[in-house]
Amino acid sequence: MSERITRYGGQSATAPLRDVLVKRPGPAFGAAFENPALGFLHPVDLAVAQRELGVRIHQLVDTHAPDLADLTYTYDPLLITDRGAIPLRPGKPTRRPEPALVEAWAMAAGIPTVGRIEAPGTIEGGDAFWLRPDLFCIGRTLRTNDAGARQLAALVGGDVRIFDLPYWRGADELVHLMSVISPVADDLAVIYPPLLPAGLWELLGELSIRTVEVPDEEYPTLGCNVLAVRPGTVIIAAGNPVTQRALVAAGCEVHTYPATEIGINGSGGPTCMTRAIWREL
């Protein structure tokens, strides 16, 4: 039985995080390397992976859903708005069962469904975020097509900006929108400039948002995947010292965690592992 949730939403990537949904890695995550479609880099050390995920608030467990490897990255199959939940439709075929499973958890917890992304649309949570509570950004990528982006824009409503991401190295090294930008305060974002859409770069300038630039050598180690738990207080994967120092110099309080198995191996950082249920604006 899901714990009832009385407050949800908070259309922000940086406001104080009050409720979050996570999923502890299970046997399917441990066996993920055996399925090439999942894209893991090497065999998983499940014990290490389970130690790496220390957050525990609302936990999606196997009584809620089958043990799917990629469901450890709870950010992707569902979006929470101030009006309720929007189950998405991942472009990665192995993730297609996830939205209905997480929607069922949300409904049992008291969060209504606003609408769903329908075929032929595809969109993953990693391609969408609030830059402001009234300004939503979507990336068109190899996992988020035009139909999915337009459907989500209509469901969210208001000021929605859509940006194209590059093909880069293809599906095996996919670029999500949030692979290249992480807002960490109202006026500060971590970015990887070589892959950042030019239109989004211009928008940051228009809004006077300062940037911390991730160096090339720290992009593969998830230096650009930064989770704000409140404005200016962030969690980042260990092993990104240049980005960490730059965040501190910009006035942030930085916490690190070891990101070998869930992070680098599975290509998902702290943002990917946490679906915000409520951020207090």
Burial 55-87 (b: 16+ CB within 10 A, else e): beebebeeebbebbbbbbbbbbbbbbbebbbbb
64 or 183: which leads in pLDDT: 183
| pLDDT surpasses 50 at 53 | no
Query: Is the predicted pLDDT of residue 212 greater than 70, yes or no?
Result: yes
Contact 255, 226 (CB under 8 A): no
Rounded Cα gap, residues 4 and 72, in angstroms: 21
Return the bridge partners of 164, or none: 140
Say whether pLDDT at 46 is over 90: no
What element of type H or E holds 50?
A: helix 46-52
User: pLDDT grade, residue 4 (50/70/90)?
Assistant: confident
**What are residue 169's phi and psi, to 5 degrees?**
-110, 20
pLDDT at 76 over 70: yes
The confidence score (pLDDT) of residue 40 equals: 67
3-state secondary structure 213-279: ECCHHHCCCCCCCCEEEECCEEEEECCCHHHHHHHHHCCCEEEEECCHHHHHHCCCCCCCCCEEEEE
CA–CA distance, 18 with 243 (Å, rounded to integer): 26
Task: Give the DSSP H or E segment for 146.
Answer: helix 146-156
Task: Of 224, 187, 223, give the one whose Cα is nearest residue 206.
Answer: 187
C-alpha distances in Å from residue 219, one per residue of 12, 60, 179, 250? 24, 29, 9, 19
Burial class for 158, CB neighbours closer than 10 Å (0-12, 13-18, 19+):
exposed
Three-state secondary structure string covering 151-215: HHHHHHCCEEEEEECCCCCCHHHCCCHHHCEEEEECCEEEECHHHCCHHHHHHHHHCCCEEEECC
| Spatial separation of the C-alpha atoms in residues 74 and 94, rounded to whole Å | 14
Average pLDDT of every residue of the chain: 89
The model's pLDDT over 5-40, given as tens digits with 9 standing for 90+, comes to: 889 998 999 999 989 898 866 666 667 677 776 566
Mean pLDDT in residue range 112-136? 98
SS3 16: coil
Domains of the chain, by residue range, sit at 17-279
Class of domain 17-279: alpha beta
pLDDT on residue 24: 66
Which positions ≥6 away from 169 have C-beta within 8 Å?
Answer: none
The answer to which of 82-91, 100-109, 230-239, 266-275 has the lowest mean pLDDT is 266-275
Which range is least confidently modeled, 50-59, 98-107, 156-165, 201-210? Answer: 50-59
